[in-house]
Chain A
Amino acid sequence: MDNMLEMYLYETNTLMEQLDELLIEAEKNSDFTTNDVNEIFRIMHTIKGSSAMMEYSTLMEIAHHIEDLFFYIRENGMDSLDESHKNDLFNLMFQSTDALRGEVEKIENDEPLSTNIDPIIANINSFLEKISSGGKNASEGSSAQPEASPAAPAADKDAIAAINQELAGCPDSKLPFFIKILFEVGSGMENLRAFMVVTALTEQDLDFEFYPSDVETNSDTAESIVENGFFVALSSQEDVDKAVRCISDQNSIQSYEVIQNVHAQPAKPAPKAAAHPATKEESASSAVHADTVQKSSPAPAAPAAHNAPVKQSLISVSLSKLDSLVAVVGEIVITESMVTSCPDLQNLKLDNFMKSARQLRKLTDDLQDIAMSLRMVPVSGTFQKMNRVVRDMRKKLNKDVRLTLVGENTEVDKTIVDSISDPIMHIVRNSVDHGIEETREERIAAGKNPQGEVILAATHTGSEVIITITDDGRGMDTEKILAKAERNGILTKPASEYSKKEILGLLMLPGFSTNEEVTEFSGRGVGMDVVKKNVESVGGSISITSEFGQGSCTTLKIPLTMAITDGMEISVGKSLFTIPIANIRQSLKIRNDEVILDAGGNEIVKCLGEFYPIIRVHEFYNIETEKTSIEDGILIWVEAAEKSFCLFVDELLGEQQVVVKPLPSFLNSFNIKNSGIGGCTLLGDGNISLILDIGNLYAAYHSQY
């Protein structure tokens, strides 16, 4: 059951994300294409189906009503809606997806579902009424349907031709028409599925009877449904047509046929291929049946062409499995080199062995690369969500803002992605709410583009991912901040002694809010300090810079637990270190006489007309090495932030892509981060190389000497 729930949540969440993206995209064009409509219909249908399976009735109800709405839209085309309707439709859709998401979250947190969803349903229904009042006739017509509708019309004629068929086992009823429904083999819970059909038919305002009649309460009926099928009895041809359309939209139905009730006339089942009223549907649905990935798509309703763009070739795998995979692969790589460089094989001429060993090495390398990349996901998912946030705020606050995303493809470890989503959202909200000017006029007066811009960017540097949220709004008024902080009594020293940086840091203290009014989005003063806490909990840091009148920029620096970075391997004595390539400017060999001593006796060297200090790694880290003369080793000119200096090391070993691993948390108590070690990495031969954090190394060196 847990497994099913997990699948359900994964599937539903994925669908919701798809839906959100689709809505944002559609709203930009302020129109739904036929594809969009079909897609929404499909998504809602799937959510409805699976929610019903899991017995989440509120979700099912909401999805069901949206589905109805889009059924209408699909039948009548978007053109039947005027501009204001479209606008309402977008708002309605965002509202209802929020409601759905809220419910899903409740399921995730194991809370009871809301019991009162009437307002949303009423909203949807009233909207449906509003738009359908104009084009009611069109929706009632049973034959003249637009191209988007499934094969039902064609099948109807066949159906009329085939209604003379009768099957043994038809239940006894006075009504003249039966529809016999067979569910997909092995779909399970047939009685519930049958009940879903009943619910769907009831929604169509049809007058009908169904057999077995106790599907809702009696789970034993599942068996008889599997054997004999599920029967719906109807009173008129018109109703049959409606019911057929409705049934063809249901999940997991293998086939159905319309049978005329000739009162207890026993007969053998008709050869399906010859007289089946719904051959077309059947072939379509059995095709889908074979395709397990798409198992929940309503086959007859959405022709394959409409499915194609959203078809995913993704599966979900639990993180712990990935972790153990990565660990095992690491072991394999080490074992492989243990085997191939086994001392017993030395001095033996083993041509075939060496050939196979080379092949094995290549394969294990590939395997390692793939395993390493598995946990990495692009931040685009998180970034895309911000589109929605900005969109909502644009509507609510009536500000003209656009969101620009940069570096969406930056790859970050999955766990990090999950943990930075909330902080980013907070900051983006702050930027739009507090940062961007209230009116276009204000912006024009300041000589800016009337449309405000918020830029969300991600970049990868060394062992960190840097996420910046920049707005071109009014910037932060340091005096106002100071005054407010003073009022709130959070100053710890006289106001005049605060530097600009410190003042901006005040923003992140608990109980601070610059906006005079509390809005729905921000201003409760719990924002930034919570953000700071969240970011720090994953080992990151946050800083704010701002130019009054020009805008502000919030920078999040998040360590990558398992980022892949390009590094230069170096050796000092027996120790190996990795310097991120991004930090390296150049490496140089110099003669002893090029080293100059400054006034304090520190070694400096002249590169490209400027002097830079030399840090001898072996001295700084107390590593024994034979290469103590500048001429024996090599200098690496590195740079981090504004700091630029040279490291003296024994040897350059080569460039390599490495996976950054954090050091065990036990070591944090030894202040290891501040001694210039940013993490470590496993080399192909199983050795550990320490990754140098150039910025911290410089600071550590200076605090020591």
Chain B
Amino acid sequence: MSADTQMNAAAIEENGTPVSTERFLTFSCDGLNIGVSTNYVTEIITDHSVTMIPLVPDYLKGIISMRGQIIPIIDIRLRMGKMPIEYTSTTCIIVLDINDAQIGIIVDAVQQVMDVDQSLIAPVPVENQQELIRGMVSSGNNSVILFLDCEQLIQTY
């Protein structure tokens, strides 16, 4: 992954200064490629035992302790209403810091870090709108990257 980052950085330098790009970490979730702004990402951890919390929705998997901080963990598949799967060796937790609230999301696998020109991010068509997604961009070879709405993720309702 760090190699990807470097490659991207190199790409920027070659193309000269790009206009208002933002760096995104992409991960896969039920076949979708989803990006989350690296501004929010604190770290990626694997193999962490999650302490379950009773009487909460099933997508809230529980809490973990990271350096003494208690961080709630959400399974992004379940949060987006998809079917649960067994956790595999690629499953990992992305710890996000959203407006000083820390939260971890369980994803199927982390893919890469990439720079995206913000002007290319298009809103999701109304009929396809999905919770937690604030925009999308096509990334060549027929794949689409969706962008996670972090603010909505931590919204209390």
Q: Point out the residues of chain A lying under 8 angstroms from B72, CB to CB.
A: 663-664, 666-667
Contact segment of B24-32, B53-61, B135-143: B53-61
For the complex formed, measure the closest distance between the CB of B56 and the CB atoms of chain A, giving whole angstroms: 5
Q: Taking the complex as formed, is A672 at the interface, i.e. its CB lies under 8 A from any CB of chain B?
A: yes
Residues on A facing B (Cβ under 8 Å)? 326-331, 574-576, 620-623, 661-670, 672, 675, 677, 680, 682, 686-690, 700
For the complex formed, measure the closest distance between the CB of A578 and the CB atoms of chain B, giving whole angstroms: 12
Mark out the residues of chain B between 38 and 82 whose CB falls within 8 Å of any chain A CB in the assembled complex: 49, 51-57, 60, 63-65, 67-72
CB pair A621–B102 under 8 Å, yes or no, is: no
A575–B62 Cα gap in the complex (Å)?
11
CB pair B103–A688 under 8 Å, yes or no, is: no
Q: Taking the complex as formed, is B157 at the interface, i.e. its CB lies under 8 A from any CB of chain A?
A: yes
Q: Point out the residues of chain B lying under 8 angstroms from A668, CB to CB.
A: 156
Mark out the residues of chain B between 98 and 112 whose CB falls within 8 Å of any chain A CB in the assembled complex: 101-103
For the complex formed, measure the closest distance between the CB of B72 and the CB atoms of chain A, giving whole angstroms: 5
A686–B57 Cα gap in the complex (Å)?
25
Q: Given A664-B72, A666-B72, A666-B156: A328 and B53 within 8 A (CB)?
A: no
Q: Given A330-B68, A680-B70, A688-B70: A664 and B53 within 8 A (CB)?
A: no
Q: Given A327-B68, A331-B68: A664 and B56 within 8 A (CB)?
A: no
| CB nearest to B69 among chain A residues | A327
A686–B63 Cα gap in the complex (Å)?
12
Q: Point out the residues of chain A lying under 8 angstroms from B12, CB to CB.
A: none
For the complex formed, measure the closest distance between the CB of A686 and the CB atoms of chain B, giving whole angstroms: 7
Q: Given A663-B63, A688-B65: A672 and B53 within 8 A (CB)?
A: yes
* Choice from A327, A675, A688 contacting B55 with Cβ under 8 Å: A675
A284–B64 Cα gap in the complex (Å)?
58
CB pair A670–B65 under 8 Å, yes or no, is: no
Instruction: With A575-B54, A666-B72, A680-B51 given, name 15 new contacts (CB 8 A).
Output: A327-B67, A327-B68, A574-B52, A623-B54, A664-B72, A664-B101, A664-B103, A667-B72, A672-B55, A672-B56, A675-B56, A686-B65, A688-B70, A690-B53, A700-B55
Q: Given A620-B54, A675-B54, A680-B70: A665 and B101 within 8 A (CB)?
A: yes
Q: Taking the complex as formed, is B122 at the interface, i.e. its CB lies under 8 A from any CB of chain A?
A: no
Q: Point out the residues of chain B lying under 8 angstroms from A687, CB to CB.
A: 49, 51
* Choice from B60, B63, B67, B154 contacting A688 with Cβ under 8 Å: B63
For the complex formed, measure the closest distance between the CB of A556 and the CB atoms of chain B, giving whole angstroms: 25
Q: A-B pairs with the 9 shortest C-beta distances?
A: A621-B54, A669-B156, A327-B68, A330-B68, A688-B51, A675-B55, A327-B67, A670-B56, A664-B72
Q: Given A664-B102, A670-B60: A575 and B68 within 8 A (CB)?
A: no
Interface size class of B (residues with CB under 8 A): 20 to 34
Q: Point out the residues of chain A lying under 8 angstroms from B69, CB to CB.
A: 327
CB pair B56–A667 under 8 Å, yes or no, is: yes
| CB nearest to A325 among chain B residues | B68
Q: Point out the residues of chain B lying under 8 angstroms from A574, CB to CB.
A: 52
A329–B67 Cα gap in the complex (Å)?
9
| CB nearest to B55 among chain A residues | A675
CB pair B54–A682 under 8 Å, yes or no, is: no
For the complex formed, measure the closest distance between the CB of A567 and the CB atoms of chain B, giving whole angstroms: 16
CB pair B70–A664 under 8 Å, yes or no, is: yes
CB pair A677–B53 under 8 Å, yes or no, is: yes
CB pair A666–B53 under 8 Å, yes or no, is: no
CB pair A331–B53 under 8 Å, yes or no, is: no
Q: Point out the residues of chain A lying under 8 angstroms from B57, CB to CB.
A: 670
CB pair B51–A669 under 8 Å, yes or no, is: no
| CB nearest to A682 among chain B residues | B65
Q: Point out the residues of chain B lying under 8 angstroms from A661, CB to CB.
A: 70
CB pair B68–A666 under 8 Å, yes or no, is: no
| CB nearest to A688 among chain B residues | B51
Q: Point out the residues of chain B lying under 8 angstroms from A669, CB to CB.
A: 156-157
Q: Can you offer 13 A-B residue contacts whose CB atoms are under 8 A?
A: A326-B68, A575-B51, A663-B72, A664-B70, A666-B103, A667-B60, A667-B72, A668-B156, A675-B55, A680-B51, A680-B70, A687-B49, A700-B55
A575–B56 Cα gap in the complex (Å)?
15
| CB nearest to A577 among chain B residues | B54
| CB nearest to B60 among chain A residues | A670
Q: Point out the residues of chain B lying under 8 angstroms from A327, CB to CB.
A: 67-69
| CB nearest to B157 among chain A residues | A669
| CB nearest to B52 among chain A residues | A575
Q: Point out the residues of chain A lying under 8 angstroms from B56, CB to CB.
A: 667, 670, 672, 675
Q: Point out the residues of chain B lying under 8 angstroms from A622, CB to CB.
A: 54-55
CB pair A677–B54 under 8 Å, yes or no, is: yes
A620–B54 Cα gap in the complex (Å)?
8
Q: Point out the residues of chain B lying under 8 angstroms from A663, CB to CB.
A: 63, 70, 72
Q: Point out the residues of chain A lying under 8 angstroms from B67, CB to CB.
A: 327-328, 330-331
Q: Point out the residues of chain B lying under 8 angstroms from A680, CB to CB.
A: 51, 63, 70
A535–B95 Cα gap in the complex (Å)?
32
For the complex formed, measure the closest distance between the CB of B76 and the CB atoms of chain A, giving whole angstroms: 15
A676–B56 Cα gap in the complex (Å)?
12
A675–B54 Cα gap in the complex (Å)?
8
For the complex formed, measure the closest distance between the CB of B61 and the CB atoms of chain A, giving whole angstroms: 12
CB pair A330–B65 under 8 Å, yes or no, is: yes
A667–B53 Cα gap in the complex (Å)?
10
For the complex formed, measure the closest distance between the CB of B93 and the CB atoms of chain A, giving whole angstroms: 14
For the complex formed, measure the closest distance between the CB of A655 and the CB atoms of chain B, giving whole angstroms: 20
Q: Given A666-B154, A666-B156, A669-B156: A682 and B53 within 8 A (CB)?
A: no
| CB nearest to B153 among chain A residues | A666
For the complex formed, measure the closest distance between the CB of B116 and the CB atoms of chain A, giving whole angstroms: 27
A687–B49 Cα gap in the complex (Å)?
8
A663–B103 Cα gap in the complex (Å)?
12
For the complex formed, measure the closest distance between the CB of A625 and the CB atoms of chain B, giving whole angstroms: 12
A665–B69 Cα gap in the complex (Å)?
12
